Structure 1
Amino acid sequence: MESGLSDIDDMIVHEKMQAALEHQNEAWADGMADGIEPEIIADAAIARAIRETIRLYGEDGAEAMLTSLRERMLAGEFSPSRTLQ
């Protein structure tokens, strides 16, 4: 039964992540439509995410998240040319 709950929890997190990405894509498109340059939108989004992460997990937690994101970036996870199989 534990595995079933874990699978359901994973599916819920995945669905929430997809919904969050859709909201962020809409906000990005709105900013672009308002004439805001993509680098400014990106900087604002990252700054907001870091502030919220610090609020929730403290500076050490935010640093751990940034370290993880750096490793994932260097591994190519966020590359626009990356293909998922």
Structure 2
Amino acid sequence: MIDPQNVELDAMIEAEKKQVAFEYHNEAWADGMSDGIEADILAETAISTALTELVRLHGEEKVVAMVDSLRQRLQHGEFRPERNLH
């Protein structure tokens, strides 16, 4: 039987890790911008690095499915700057 308290705790830990990762990415992004690297270069490099790591961890099929999901979310406006809650 799954303990709901453990599931809730795991979700809280994951949310905290995501927040810390978001802060790390923002700091790296700001450092790159201050060094004169254009935002589109930073973005493309971040996506390429992430996809390479995800393929290494999960294989191409799962990453293709993830990219398809991201495409749908993008088409529905999830990544528009005015929707950014951070």
**1:37-48 paired onto structure 2 within 5 Å:** 37-48=38-49
2:40 counterpart of 1:34: no
Q: TM-score, normalised by structure 2?
A: 0.91
Number of residues of Structure 1 aligned to a counterpart in Structure 2: 84
State which drifts further: 68-77 or 50-59.
68-77
| CA distance in structure 2 between the aligned counterparts of 1:54 and 1:4, rounded to whole angstroms | 32
**1:1-85 paired onto structure 2 within 5 Å:** 2-82=3-83
Instruction: Kindly provide the CA deviation profile for residues 23-61 of structure 1, in whole angstroms up to 9, marking residues without a partner as x.
Output: 000000000000000000000000000000000001001
Percent same amino acid among aligned pairs?
Answer: 50
4+ runs deviating over 2 angstroms? none
| CA distance in structure 1 between the aligned counterparts of 2:66 and 2:72, rounded to whole angstroms | 10
| CA distance in structure 1 between the aligned counterparts of 2:38 and 2:16, rounded to whole angstroms | 29
* Superposition deviation, residue 65 in structure 1: 1.1
* Superposition deviation, residue 70 in structure 1: 1.1
Unpaired runs of at least 5, structure 1: none
| CA distance in structure 2 between the aligned counterparts of 1:35 and 1:68, rounded to whole angstroms | 32
| CA distance in structure 2 between the aligned counterparts of 1:57 and 1:75, rounded to whole angstroms | 26
